[in-house]
Amino acid sequence: MTTEYLIAIVLIVIAAIICAVGFVVIYWVLSQNTKLIQKQSQIIGDAKRKVQADLHAKASTKFEEAVEENAEDLKKDLQSTGKALNAYVRTEFDGALHNEIKSFKESASEIGKVSGEALANLQESIAKEQAVVLAAFKEEQDAILNDLRGQHQELAEKVNQMVEEEVTRRITRFESEMTRIISTYARQAFTNSIDIDAQLTYILDELEQNKETIVGDLRNVT
């Protein structure tokens, strides 16, 4: 009876040890997964700051040259920046994921308690989390690009409006000063050749009748 009692106690102790080891392994796996997620969040934060700084710098340069460049150049530049940053984020993720999985495999091999199925589940969970984070990052990047396109369009419209207003102002001034300008230059050009006063009235009348045509030609040229 004493022997059976001792055996029962030994079995209970062994079961308790197994449960404790299992709990430690589970806790370690969860701890590793938490560290990986934290590292991914750090990478995303760095990437977001990088893309915002990079896009802001490029957009500022493009806006300063907006009169000389068009929207297509800015679009190509933004697309190139987006591709480069996407490649950067993916490279960082792949590197971090590779290092964490390598460390996880080595530790699992040492304790001999983590099965291949658990590792596969962990990889699948990490892949899903990575996909969600990348999707959110892409949405935010698209929002930034759309905002920059809108700002560029608004700036282009303002520049065009300023140019049109300046053209209108100059033509209006020319209309009001046309008679005086023509008279002055005609007198200087023909002062020694003909009696300009005899012809000037006729010339100015002809110009006045064709003022709208002349102004239209000036607008087309500008």
The answer to pTM > 0.95 is: no
Q: Using CA atoms, how far apart are residues 55 and 140, in angstroms rounded to an integer?
A: 13
pLDDT band for 201, please (50, 70, 90 cuts): confident
The total domain count for the chain is 1
pLDDT tens digits for range 131-145: 887 888 788 888 888
- In 3D space, the residue among 75, 48, 72 whose CA is nearest the CA of residue 141 turns out to be 48
Domain encompassing residue 49: 2-221
pLDDT tens digits for range 175-196: 777 777 777 766 666 665 556 6
Q: Using CA atoms, how far apart are residues 187 and 153, in angstroms rounded to an integer?
A: 49
Inter-CA distances, 191 with 9, 70, 93, 145, 198, Å = 132, 50, 84, 64, 12
Tell me the CB-side half-sphere exposure of residue 134, using CA atoms within 13 A: 17
Q: What is the mean pLDDT of the chain?
A: 71
